[in-house]
Structure 1
Amino acid sequence: MNLADLSKTLDLLLKDQYQVENRIMLTAEVYKQGEKAATYIALNDFNINRCGASRVIGLKVGINGSTIDCYRADGVIVCTPTGSTGYNLSAGGPIINPTCKNFVITPICPHSLTARSIVLAKEDVVTVEVEQIRSNIKEEAIISFDGREGLSIVPGDQVKIYKSQEVTPFIKATEVSFVQILKEKLL
C-alpha cells in the first residue's frame, strides 16, 4: 500500500470491508548430538550459511528422508511464498504467489552448473546437515530466520524444516492483485 491509498484503505477497514489472508510459516528444529536444541518459527525464510572463512561449505539436503543433493555452496535458503520475493529471489529462486501453501529450497551461490531451486509440497520435510568436506578446517554454518541469527551448526547436527501449524494473518483491504503488486515493486 502506498501513502496515496492510506485514507481509502483506512475507510475500508473501519467499514469492515477487508479480507484476512492467512500466510504459511515454517518451523525449524535444530538437533545437536541427536537431541533437539532449538525450535524456530519464520514467516519468510530460514537461511543456513557458512561461517568464518570465505570458502564454500558442504550441505547435505534431504526431502522426506531421501537425500536430494550435497551442495557445495555459500548456504541454502528454505522460504515460504511470502519470503520468496526476498533473499530467495536475489539468489535466483522462484517467486511464489503468497496464497500458495508450498515452500522452496534455493542453494546460495552453489559451486555447480546443475543446482537449482526446488518447489516443495506443504507436507514435505526438509533436512539439512553440514558435511565435513576438508579435514584440516572446522566446518561450521549458522542458521538464521527472518533476519535473526540462531545457532551454530557443525557436522553431526541436523536441521529439520517443515510447514508450521502457525499462520500469520494479513489484512487485505484492496482488490490489488499479486501480479499488480509484483509489477509495482519489482519492475
Structure 2
Amino acid sequence: MPQPFRRIALTAWPIAQKAPLDLAGVAAWLRGHRFEVALDETAARMAGEPEGLPREEAIRGADLVIVFGGDGSMLRTAHILGEGGPALLGINTGHLGFMADVPVSELMPALDRILARGEFTIEPRMRLRPCALRDGRRLPLHDVLNDVVLTSGPLARMVEFAIEVDGRGLGAFRGDGLILATPTGSTAYSLSAGGPLVMPDLGVILINPICPHTLSHRPIVVAGDSRIEVRFSPDPEVEGRHALLTLDGHPGCELLPDDRLEVVRSPDPVRLVRPAGADFFQVLRDKLVWETHPRGGESRPDPVRRGPRGGGPA
C-alpha cells in the first residue's frame, strides 16, 4: 500500500506518563524514516524535547496522530479532530483498550509494520451527530464516536423517555436513562448496561435503556441511516426536573421537559489505523478473556494472563 502519511503528530495523555515509553526513541525513529513529526506538550516533555505544541496545534495538518493513552484518550483526540481530520493510531497505556489496541510492548514492531512496510488497514468508524431542539431552535452538539447518554440527573430517580425512529413510535419507558451507541461504543457503557457487542464495520445504531423499570424493554439495533428522536417526561413529583446529556463521557447539555433530542449518523467518520490482519474477535478474546474451546477439549488457547483467582485480567 502506498504510504499516505507524511506528517505525524504524537500526542500523550496523562495516563501515558506512567507507562514504560521511550518517546524520544519513537520520535527519532520517525524522523529517521523521513516523517515530519510534531509533539504535543506532554509528549515533548516525556521525550525530553525542549518545547512541544498545544495539542490542537500539533494535530492540525497531521496525516496521522499516534495517541498514547487509553480508549478515553482516543475519544478526546477524536473530539479535537473536527471534520475530515487525520487518522488515529492508538497505543494502549490504559486498561482494556478496544480502540487503543496496540500494546506498548509491541509499539516499535507495529510502527515498523505500519509505517515502514505499509502493512496496515484503515477502518472508518461511524460517529453519531446529536442535536437538541428547543423552542424551534436547533442546538448543535459535537459528534460522538462511542455514545450519547441521557440520564435523569445527579439524583437516582427514574425518568420517562419516548423514542421515535424515522417518525415511527418505538415506545416509551421509565428507567435511569438511555444510551444511543455506535458499533464502536458497543464495547463501552452500552456493554455494561447489557447491550450487544457489534462488529465495528456494521453501520447501525444501538438503542439501549439503562435499568428500565419494565423487564420487557430490551436493547434494539436500528439502521445507521435512521433518525432517532427522544423526548423525556420528568418526575411530576419533583419540581424543575431535567435530563442530562453526556457525549462520549463528557458534559453535553441539560434537556428541559419540552426539548427534543435528535440523533443521526454523522457524515464524518473517524479513521482508525490497524496493523494488517487485526481481528476484532481476537481483540474480544484477549480483552474479555474468552476461551476458544470448551473446557476439557484437546485444544486450548494460549494462556491469558489472569488475576490471582483466574477471574479476569491481572
TM band (smaller chain)? over 0.9
Q: 2:274 is matched with which residue? A: 172
Matched, 1:91 2:193: yes
1:137 to 231, 234, 239: 239
2: CA distance, partners of 1:173 / 1:121: 29
2: CA distance, partners of 1:154 / 1:82: 29
Q: 1:150 is matched with which residue? A: 252
Shift of 1:75: 0.6
Q: 1:66 is matched with which residue? A: 168
Return structure 1 stretches of 4+ with deviation > 6 angstroms.
none
Give the conservation status (yes or no) of the 8 Å contact 1:130–1:139.
no
Deviates more, 1:71-80 or 1:34-43: 34-43
Deviates more, 1:158-167 or 1:7-16: 7-16
Structure 1 gaps of 5+ residues are: none
Higher helix share: 2
2: CA distance, partners of 1:78 / 1:137: 27
Matched, 1:47 2:166: no
Shift of 1:139: 2.7
Q: 1:81 is matched with which residue? A: 183
Give the conservation status (yes or no) of the 8 Å contact 1:126–1:160.
yes
2:114 to 10, 13, 16: 13
Note the aligned Cα RMSD (angstroms): 1.3
Identify which of structures 1 and 2 has the higher relative contact order when contacts are C-alpha pairs closer than 8 Å and 6+ apart. Answer: 1
Q: CA offsets, 1:69-111, max 9 Å, x none? A: 1110111000000111000000000110011111101001111
Q: 2:158 is matched with which residue? A: 56
Give the conservation status (yes or no) of the 8 Å contact 1:9–1:174.
no
Report percent identity of matched pairs.
29
2: CA distance, partners of 1:47 / 1:90: 13
Higher strand share: 1
TM-score, normalised to structure 2's length? 0.57
Structure 2 gaps of 5+ residues are: 1-101, 290-314
Give the conservation status (yes or no) of the 8 Å contact 1:22–1:170.
yes
Please give the secondary structure, in 1, of the residue aligned with 2:112: helix
Q: CA offsets, 1:30-73, max 9 Å, x none? A: 01122112332101100011114321001111111122111101
Please give the secondary structure, in 2, of the residue aligned with 1:40: coil
Please give the secondary structure, in 2, of the residue aligned with 1:97: coil
